[in-house]
Amino acid sequence: MDHWQNFSRRDFIKISSLFLAGSAAMSSSAGQAFSGLGQSGSDENSDRIVYSFCEHCFWRCGIAAHVRDGKVYKIVGSEHHPLSQGKLCPRGTGGIGLLYDPDRLQHPLIRETKGGKQYYRKASWDEATGMVAEKLYGIHEKYGPGAIAMLHHGFGVSFFKQMFSQIGVNKFAKPSYDLCCGPARQASVLTYGYPSGTPEGFDIKNSKYMIFFGTHFGENMHNTAVQEISEGIRRGAKIAVFDPRFSTIAGKAEHWLPIKPGTDIAMMQGLMHVLISENLYDRSFVQHHTVGFGELWDSVRKMTPEKVAEITEIPADAIRTVAREFAFNAPAAFVHSGRRTNWYGDALQRIRAIHILNALVGNFKMPGGVVNFDKFVLKKPKTAHAHPPYEKSVYSRYPFFPDDEPSNTIASHEIVQQAISGEIKALMIYGVNLPETMTLGRETAIEALRKVDFMVAVDVLPAEVTGYADVVLPECTYLERYDALDAGRNFRTPFVALRQPAVPPMYESKPGNQIAKMITDKWGMHGVFPASVEAGLDKTLKMTGSSLEEIKKTGVIVRPETDLYRKPGVALNLKTPSGKIELASSRLRAAGFDAVPRYTPQPEAPAGFYRMLTGRKPMLTFGRTANNRFLGDVATAKENEVWVNTETAAKHDLNNDEYVHLKNQAGVVSEFPVKVKVTQRIRPDAVFMVHGFGHTAAKMTWAYKRGASHNQLISRTDIDPAMGSVGFQNNFVTFIKEA
């Protein structure tokens, strides 16, 4: 019998303070010899400024960490980095709250069972990485590379991908694809022939008219986008927002249209109808640069503003006004595709509809419209080490899953399901707090974690997921390490950015680059990584005509601004089957899907229940910041609230600031109570709560029991059949008043 099966009944272990109390002070490693601290002096007492980039969200802004007496005392925006331009969102400043989080993982931990009880014991790096190397290799030998998978979130993962390549493992999932931006990425591929990037391809600062569908800029503090929207407002740009909730950006809008949730596609079809029937669209552009107009018109012919008004509960006149203003301001006008786009099972089609609206007004590659920012082309040294061939380049069964992204070869929910079915036997989880990440809901995620034979978590904090691991490897924070170079952002001025340590790793934590190397060394594979991470960075930078020494001074190399706009009379030559913008997608049609978006109604709430919507607070990024005391130390950051319309609150006899439990349509009751915010700012048929609260891991001493978990209340998910994203807005809640 396979002795690993012992692990299948694994219990959640609260990582015990017994083992965490080992090294007390924050400055425990201050005396350690350490190389490569920023550009200037060795004088311990003088201020140093270290240029690096933030890891509190995917935007990865440039930061300037100010260090005194071996401590980072403040983080400000780097004036050199194009995405921050000297500015930061609250989370960027809040890096110190992560670095000096007293709950940080301090030592490697190994799960033990004694007398039927499971517990963690402190282990040396040698022992812990030895165990990881042995188990992964064993499972690889016995079941093949397809039995191993990695879920990852965060920029430091590159070293682990490199590590896994050595044993032919490339089954990797970025939950952010299926839970957030995947639909936007693939809708762009199908419509324009290239994936959308970060920042998204909109010429915000030159736009005169911006339409947002439920994307919460201002609550989503995507630094450069917020900077450019503000610039637009100062220049007099108008904003229209379709959102069931009066969001911050709705508060800036000329028109707030509190649309019935789940009816966006109908609204977009109504806007198309007006554009076409009133002859407001860019006829010449559509003729020369798009395909499928006839089929599109057929599909929206009956979607008159009157009909759409009935579906969306937005007056027909308002629909006409927005469509006309949009066309009037075009091409310096756009409908933004948003960031988190996985709302329902038709997420891909919803974003396709957005791009069709954009194409109709001919804003493609025009000032103030849709643009395609460039990336910095980084030459990379040839890897000395060839790796065994991969079984496949994509493992997902969804036909429009990306086939050009080696770090994302399968949807995270497919990994969860394969772990439950037994196809996947070993998991590495890098920076993903799976039980609180929206992949098929909490219960399913936990089932998967319990089921696998071996699980290793690489993390900074004792998040819920670490309690299910066989081995926990404490990575140091982004302020204590080098990572790969960041050339992955798309922007007006292409750039490459350096992450470098501001201070040495605290406790016994280690950077990912060293952890991955220790594991490949244990496999007896030497030379997979350069002799030192610095040497590797230097080699790559020299191929670009710079050097590590050089880039350390400002943290970034910036290229001049590129030309974003198309020239009249020049064909677009897109990488779509037609070479043009596909209003009707031939690829979708060939695979048996609707070639043009079609509205299908979403289920209605059961009586007395309300659709549960979610979003963000500007100072928090879900799990990344949940335990951050520095960021939590402002009244509005301390907990999440459930927003309830005044009318709805009266019906349920709810008072402002009262605490209630929430119960969803499947009978799941929130573990912790949540504060009620009675407000005019939301439709009566929906409630809103910020994701990322209500943590159950007691060792996250700040986050524990703070607010209620949105994730816990997800019992139903709707997976997009074309590209595999997970929609979860068909969950409904009601209120249970405290006795």
Q: Which residues bind other proteins (CB under 8 A)?
A: 73-77, 86-90, 92-94, 96, 217-219, 221, 223, 226-227, 229-231, 233-234, 236-239, 246, 248-252, 254, 256, 258, 618-619, 629-631, 633-634, 636-637, 645-646, 679-684
Binding-residue pattern over the window 215 to 254 for ligand SF4, x denoting contact by CB under 6 A: ------xxx-------------------------------
* DSSP structure class, residue 115: T
89 or 457: whose CB is closer to ligand SF4?
Answer: 89
Of ligand SF4, other proteins, none, which one does residue 104 interact with (CB within 5 to 8 Å by kind)?
A: none
233 or 571: whose CB is closer to ligand SF4?
Answer: 233
| 388, two tokens | 């065994």
Shortest Cβ distance from residue 39 to other proteins (Å)? 20
Query: Which region among 52-60, 195-203, 458-466, 578-586 touches ligand SF4 (by CB under 6 A)?
Result: 52-60
Of ligand SF4, other proteins, none, which one does residue 707 interact with (CB within 5 to 8 Å by kind)?
A: none
The answer to whether residue 683 forms part of the interface with ligand SF4 (CB under 6 A) is: no
Locate all alpha helices (DSSP H) within 380-532, ordered by sequence: 412-421, 442-451, 512-522
Site for ligand SF4 in 87-106 (CB under 6 A): 88-89, 91-92
CB atoms within 10 A of CB 284: 10
Shortest Cβ distance from residue 483 to ligand SF4 (Å)? 14
Shortest Cβ distance from residue 246 to other proteins (Å)? 5
Tokens 């709250």 belong to residue = 97
437 or 477: whose CB is closer to other proteins?
Answer: 477
Shortest Cβ distance from residue 634 to other proteins (Å)? 6
Site for ligand SF4 in 250-279 (CB under 6 A): none
Shortest Cβ distance from residue 266 to other proteins (Å)? 18
Contact by Cβ (8 Å): 56, 92: yes
Query: Which region among 55-63, 569-577, 642-650, 669-677 touches ligand SF4 (by CB under 6 A)?
Result: 55-63
CA distance 174 to 155: 11
String of b and e for 247-257 (b: at least 16 CB within 10 Å)? bebbebbebbb
Instruction: Quote the longest CA-to-CA distance of the chain.
Output: 78
Q: What's phi and psi for 689, nearest 5 deg?
A: -145, 140
Of ligand SF4, other proteins, none, which one does residue 210 interact with (CB within 5 to 8 Å by kind)?
A: none
Query: Which region among 84-92, 118-126, 574-582, 588-596 touches ligand SF4 (by CB under 6 A)?
Result: 84-92
Which residues lie closer than 8 Å to 247 by C-beta, 6 or more apart?
214, 216, 218, 219, 241, 615
CA distance 384 to 526: 11
Shortest Cβ distance from residue 606 to other proteins (Å)? 23
Contact by Cβ (8 Å): 700, 433: no
Environment class of 382 (CB within 10 Å of its CB; exposed 0-12, middle 13-18, buried 19+): exposed
155 or 390: whose CB is closer to ligand SF4?
Answer: 155
CA distance 361 to 363: 6
Q: What's phi and psi for 421, nearest 5 deg?
A: -75, -15
The answer to whether residue 497 forms part of the interface with ligand SF4 (CB under 6 A) is: no
Identity of the amino acid at 361:
V
Which residue among 51, 59, 172, 177 contacts ligand SF4 (CB under 6 A)? 59
* DSSP structure class, residue 303: -
Of ligand SF4, other proteins, none, which one does residue 94 interact with (CB within 5 to 8 Å by kind)?
A: other proteins
CA distance 198 to 188: 13
Q: Which residue number places its CB atom closest to ligand SF4?
A: 92
Contact by Cβ (8 Å): 38, 72: no
Of other proteins, ligand SF4, none, which one does residue 227 interact with (CB within 5 to 8 Å by kind)?
A: other proteins
CA distance 462 to 455: 15
Locate all alpha helices (DSSP H) within 568-635, ordered by sequence: 586-590, 629-632
78 or 196: whose CB is closer to ligand SF4?
Answer: 78
Query: Which region among 86-94, 388-396, 434-442, 677-685 touches ligand SF4 (by CB under 6 A)?
Result: 86-94
Query: Which region among 58-66, 254-262, 410-418, 510-518 touches ligand SF4 (by CB under 6 A)?
Result: 58-66
31 or 236: whose CB is closer to other proteins?
Answer: 236
Question: What is the length of the chain?
Answer: 739
The answer to whether residue 65 forms part of the interface with ligand SF4 (CB under 6 A) is: no
Please, what sign has the CA dihedral across residues 458, 463, 464, 468?
A: positive
97 or 145: whose CB is closer to other proteins?
Answer: 97
Give the helix/strand (H/E) hosting 273.
helix 264-277
343 or 630: whose CB is closer to other proteins?
Answer: 630
Please, what sign has the CA dihedral across residues 19, 21, 27, 32?
A: negative
The answer to whether residue 357 forms part of the interface with ligand SF4 (CB under 6 A) is: no
* DSSP structure class, residue 59: T
Shortest Cβ distance from residue 59 to ligand SF4 (Å)? 4
Of ligand SF4, other proteins, none, which one does residue 59 interact with (CB within 5 to 8 Å by kind)?
A: ligand SF4
Q: Could you tell me which residues are beta bridge partners of residue 655?
A: none
86 or 606: whose CB is closer to other proteins?
Answer: 86
Of ligand SF4, other proteins, none, which one does residue 528 interact with (CB within 5 to 8 Å by kind)?
A: none
247 or 418: whose CB is closer to other proteins?
Answer: 247
The answer to whether residue 54 forms part of the interface with ligand SF4 (CB under 6 A) is: yes
Which residue from 189, 196, 150, 215 is spatially nearest to 516, judged by alpha carbons? Answer: 150
Shortest Cβ distance from residue 229 to ligand SF4 (Å)? 11
CA distance 194 to 177: 16
543 or 634: whose CB is closer to other proteins?
Answer: 634
Contact by Cβ (8 Å): 426, 148: yes
Of ligand SF4, other proteins, none, which one does residue 56 interact with (CB within 5 to 8 Å by kind)?
A: ligand SF4
Which residue from 487, 610, 590, 463 is spatially nearest to 540, judged by alpha carbons? Answer: 487
Of other proteins, ligand SF4, none, which one does residue 448 interact with (CB within 5 to 8 Å by kind)?
A: none
Q: How far apart are the first and last CA of the chain?
A: 51
88 or 424: whose CB is closer to other proteins?
Answer: 88
Please, what sign has the CA dihedral across residues 716, 720, 724, 725?
A: negative
* DSSP structure class, residue 453: S
Residues that bind ligand SF4 (CB under 6 A): 54, 56-57, 59-61, 88-89, 91-92, 221-223
